[in-house]
Copies of this chain bind each other. A is one copy, B any other.
């Protein structure tokens, strides 16, 4: 019997893989390329985290991530034309994946004895780096550096997780608080179109130079 966290992990992986596969299809990748792109989004963040923490990447210990990405590919091939009606569900799944991956990343770094600020960065990398890898592979400027709050939601969740941890809360309380913070930050940012200020120093310089 899979646990509740494993089911959430599966849903998050599935949603992340779908996100990669759909962007690959917009770039006319073939099925294999789309699979690789989906897999990169689903496990890329966790792989970078595990390489930095010097442990074996989690997808090399359990084939479920490969199968989950295969399922996502079959899903897109079969139901591609109906996916647009599911955009809201997919966004929700993606936000759940982001929340869960952030919490998993924080926890892993803390368990391995790293300081809290490394844990928050590892949580953010787990959640957000897959999307950066995807955008590098499809040769686009990474979206998360320009659109609504994304990686910053991970940072907020990591801080919430750590605050609970410092206050001596039980692990499950830390996890839920961290995850809910990521989820709410992400959903509210998209709902109210909250973006960070754009850095425009370069343009000002040029105007100044005239």
Enumerate chain A interface residues (CB-CB to B < 8 A): 21-22, 24-34, 36-37, 47, 51-52, 54, 56-57, 60, 63, 66, 76-77, 80-84, 114-115, 117-118, 132, 136-142, 144-146, 149, 151-152, 195-205, 207-209
Contact B146 A30 (CB under 8 A): yes
Q: How far is the CA of A27 from the CA of B146 in the complex (A)?
A: 9
Q: How far is the CA of A140 from the CA of B145 in the complex (A)?
A: 15
Question: What is the minimal beta-carbon distance from A150 to any residue of chain B, in angstroms?
Answer: 9
Q: Which residue on chain B has the smallest CB distance to residue A62?
A: B115
Could you say which of B24, B141, B207 contacts A27, with CB atoms under 8 Å apart?
Answer: B141
Identify 25 residue pairs between A and B in the complex whose beta-carbon atoms are under 8 Å apart, listed by A's number. Answer: A21-B201, A22-B202, A25-B203, A28-B198, A28-B199, A29-B146, A30-B196, A30-B197, A30-B198, A31-B196, A31-B199, A32-B152, A33-B144, A34-B199, A52-B60, A63-B115, A66-B117, A76-B201, A80-B204, A81-B207, A132-B137, A136-B139, A138-B141, A139-B140, A139-B141
Most buried by B among A28, A63, A77: A28
**Majority-rule SS of A interface residues:** helix
Contact A81 B201 (CB under 8 A): yes
* Given A25-B201, A33-B199, A60-B114: 11 more A-B contacts, CB < 8 Å: A25-B202, A28-B199, A31-B199, A33-B144, A34-B145, A34-B199, A37-B145, A54-B56, A63-B117, A83-B201, A137-B142
Contact B145 A36 (CB under 8 A): yes
Query: Which residues on B sit within 8 Å (CB–CB) of A81?
Result: 201, 204-205, 207-208
Contact B201 A29 (CB under 8 A): no
Contact B199 A145 (CB under 8 A): no
Most buried by B among A77, A84, A132, A145: A145
Q: How far is the CA of A200 from the CA of B78 in the complex (A)?
A: 11
Query: Which residues on B sit within 8 Å (CB–CB) of A205?
Result: 80-81, 83-84
